[in-house]
Amino acid sequence: MATQDDVRRIAMQFPGVQAAEDGFAFSVPNRKTRNGFVWAWMERIDPKKSKVPSREVIAVSVRNLTEKELLLASDPVKFFTEPHYNGFPAVLVRLGAIAADELEDVLLEAWKCKAAALQIEEFEKS
């Protein structure tokens, strides 16, 4: 079972990663922009109120929609989606259903989706 602390620890080990100052999200620079690769899923608890960040679910970037479908099919307990993410290359991950070592692999692939080629090359050499 992984936690937000695991997400933070894992995400921050990759080169160039910055944690958001105003929420639970992590990004990496690529060219002149910062690209988010993992963030808290916003859930609606009360239909009449705004969505709130979940502590149990994160959203994670994937390379493309094919990779998304493969992850979703691989384990629907760990990985899921919702209409808001239709057509968008990201999956939702239940932290309580995934081990920290598997989460590390998922976050590494998410980081690689957004990082610059040089950052990836340098990381893989180390």
Q: Write out pLDDT tens, residues 98-115.
A: 999 999 999 999 999 999
Q: pTM for the whole thing?
A: 0.93
Classify each residue of 4-38 as buried b or exposed e, where b means 16 or more C-beta atoms within 10 Å of its C-beta: eebbeebbeebebbeeeeeebbbbbbbeeebebbb
% of residues, the chain, pLDDT over 90:
89
CATH code for the domain in which residue 97 is found: 3.90.1150.30
Flag whether pLDDT at 31 surpasses 90.
Answer: no
Total of domains in the chain? 1
| Weakest mean pLDDT among 44-53, 54-63, 66-75 | 44-53
Q: How confident is the model at residue 32 (pLDDT cuts 50, 70, 90)?
A: confident
**Which domain does 65 fall in, by range?**
4-125
